[in-house]
């Protein structure tokens, strides 16, 4: 490491992204001139398994050639609504869905499957699992990405997922320290604040992280959240030496890799600036900096860090310690060996993921009555999916719960707006007034109350309503008595297939969930 120039050292501490399925010229220049040593992939970089495997191989060749070290190639592959792998790979259910199965071994299996699928493509670094406790139902960005609303559930399932990823051979990052669950602001879009004391955090939010650290967690992601009762300066955890060094490293004994959440998120970029955030994060004790989209912001950050080192603002010792930490994990995970999977292997993984999905579906409310094929007395209604937050994968206009379910049963369907107003509710109610049985797909209706209004209007009109919560399960708490509810947690092709099987009477819903009456 002593032979590295200052720019080469800084390059090892940066994770950059790029805009398409191929490495563009600007990114090539970034790798060559700024010696960027690591990459983050998003859905816009992905076409299919063959393309993605070739892209990762090319990235490794280019980065190794320019820097002399392998790349950490990272991806947000939590499962459920946060998935980046292609459709012909296996995407597992999300955290809350897995926890609803009541079987922690499913979380381990999901981690192991995910790691095997990633390694087969040349990806060695997963930005998962989420260890945030969803103790605020109004949380706009965590919710179903969390395993649950208690420290016990999050710890049990999160650590099993972590172990599965590690046993599968990829570096896994627990997130978002010291806890993103009790916020009502998405840090992609604003700067959240949690005014809790350290003692209060220790009683809840810190418990899963402490257990993961005690269990050998190797990588941890910082949160872009203000904790004013702990950090007196007006900086988020990512830029707080009090939180990253004093609390995490000294008090909690964490000695692994500390990474930032993306420094282009509005919580950093709009309030501090990405380049200043990068310097502040390094001062705080963060080792690896994510600047996930803009090549110009990567350049700005590199130059700002160079200036900070050259002027003595940032200690060379801090920089060297971060580089040593990154290179240690590159030596362990950087070169992906024996990651090949056959089509038979993919099929085994797919069936296992589908089995977990089936076990995750929860029943609440009135009795479930199976749908008959060709039933003229039943209609399926609901909206297309949308992207509920910046962490989620882009929604596909091709995926339609009403269309998929109706096609499976050979019955009619009707698409609604994501938030039907009074006029649309009235029109739909009149249009289906002679159809006694209505299956309605809800997608985060607690955030778009027109969906809830429509469902309750149909109940009051005398329809037998079956409501399927394809996002937050809390939608079911807002429905009037007499509704048969299913919680599916995510609007994915896999979850839709599971719901169809259950509504067809082919399987019973066995998932468990606690909802307010």
Token couple for 35: 């010696």
Q: How far apart are CA 223 and CA 192, in angstroms?
A: 10
Phi-psi category of residue 179: left, alpha or beta, with phi > 0 → left and psi -120 to 50 → alpha: left
Asked whether the beta carbons of 513 and 469 are under 8 A apart, the reply is no
For 43-102, give the secondary structure using H, E and C.
Answer: HHHCCCHHHHHHHHHHHHHHHHHHHCCCCEEEECCCECCECCCCCCCCCCCCHHHHHHCC
Only one residue has tokens 């050979």, namely 410
Token couple for 23: 């490495």
Phi-psi category of residue 482: left, alpha or beta, with phi > 0 → left and psi -120 to 50 → alpha: left
Strands 38-41 and 72-75: parallel
CA distances from 514 to 107, 368, 474, 476 (A): 19, 18, 10, 11
Q: How far apart are CA 37 and CA 290, in angstroms?
A: 11
Only one residue has tokens 């499913």, namely 106
Per the annotation, the verdict on 475 as an active-site residue is no
Q: Count CA within 13 A, CB hemisphere, residue 18.
A: 21
The β-bridge partners of 487 are: 362, 469
The β-bridge partners of 74 are: 40, 125
CA distances from 231 to 193, 195, 267, 315, 354 (A): 11, 10, 16, 22, 44
Asked whether the beta carbons of 44 and 50 are under 8 A apart, the reply is no
- The active-site residue, picked from 76, 182, 186, 261, is 261
Q: Count CA within 13 A, CB hemisphere, residue 16.
A: 30
Kindly give the interhelix angle for 104-121 and 49-67, rounded to the nearest 10 degrees.
Answer: 70
Strands 362-365 and 484-487: antiparallel
Ramachandran angles phi, psi of 16, nearest 5°? -115, 160
Q: How far apart are CA 257 and CA 368, in angstroms?
A: 48
Asked whether the beta carbons of 77 and 84 are under 8 A apart, the reply is yes
Token couple for 437: 């049985």
Residues with catalytic function? 261
């Amino acid at each position: 490491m002593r032979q590295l120039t200052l720019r080469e050292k800084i390059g090892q501490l940066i994770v950059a992204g790029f805009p398409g399925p191929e490495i563009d010229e600007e990114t090539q220049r970034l790798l060559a001139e700024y010696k960027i040593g690591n990459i983050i992939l998003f859905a816009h970089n992905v076409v299919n398994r063959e393309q993605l495997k070739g892209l990762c191989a090319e990235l490794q060749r280019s980065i190794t050639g320019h820097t002399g070290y392998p790349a950490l190639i990272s991806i947000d592959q939590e499962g459920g609504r946060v998935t980046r792998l292609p459709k012909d790979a296996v995407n597992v259910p999300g955290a809350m869905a897995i926890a609803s199965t009541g079987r922690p071994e499913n979380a381990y299996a999901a981690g192991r499957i995910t790691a095997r699928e990633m390694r087969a493509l040349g990806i060695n670094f997963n930005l998962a699992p989420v260890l945030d406790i969803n103790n605020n139902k109004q949380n706009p960005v965590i919710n179903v990405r969390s395993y649950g609303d208690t420290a016990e559930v999050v710890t049990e399932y999160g650590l099993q997922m972590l172990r599965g990823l590690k046993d599968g051979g990829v570096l896994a990052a627990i997130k978002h320290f010291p806890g993103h669950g009790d916020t009502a602001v998405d840090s992609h879009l604003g700067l959240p604040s949690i005014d809790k004391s350290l003692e209060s955090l220790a009683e809840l939010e810190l418990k899963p992280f402490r257990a993961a650290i005690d269990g050998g967690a190797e990588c941890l992601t910082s949160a872009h959240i203000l904790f004013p009762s702990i950090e007196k300066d007006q900086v988020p955890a990512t830029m707080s030496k009090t939180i990253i060094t004093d609390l995490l490293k000294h008090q909690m004994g964490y000695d692994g890799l500390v990474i930032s959440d993306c420094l282009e998120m509005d919580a950093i970029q709009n309030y501090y600036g990405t380049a200043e955030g990068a310097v502040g994060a390094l001062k705080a004790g963060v080792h690896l900096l994510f600047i996930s989209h803009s090549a110009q912001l990567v350049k700005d950050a590199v130059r700002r860090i160079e200036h900070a080192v050259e002027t003595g603002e940032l200690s060379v010792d801090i920089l060297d310690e971060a580089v040593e930490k990154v290179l240690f994990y590159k030596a362990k995970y950087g070169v992906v060996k024996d990651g090949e999977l056959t089509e038979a292997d993919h099929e085994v993984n797919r069936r296992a993921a589908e089995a977990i999905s089936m076990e995750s579906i929860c029943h609440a409310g009135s009795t479930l009555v199976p749908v008959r094929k060709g039933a003229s007395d039943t209609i399926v209604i609901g909206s297309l999916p949308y992207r509920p937050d910046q962490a989620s994968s882009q929604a596909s206009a091709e995926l339609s719960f009403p269309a998929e379910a109706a096609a499976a049963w050979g019955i009619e369907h009707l698409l609604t707006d994501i938030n039907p107003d009074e006029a649309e509710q009235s029109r739909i109610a009149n249009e289906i007034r002679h159809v006694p049985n209505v299956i309605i797909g809800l997608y985060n209706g607690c955030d778009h109350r027109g969906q809830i209004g429509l469902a309750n209007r149909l109940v009051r009109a005398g329809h037998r309503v079956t409501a399927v919560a394809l996002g937050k399960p809390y939608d079911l708490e807002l429905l009037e008595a007499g509704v048969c509810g299913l919680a599916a947690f995510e609007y994915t092709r896999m979850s839709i297939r599971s719901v169809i099987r259950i509504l067809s009477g082919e399987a019973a819903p066995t998932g468990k969930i606690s909802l307010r009456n």
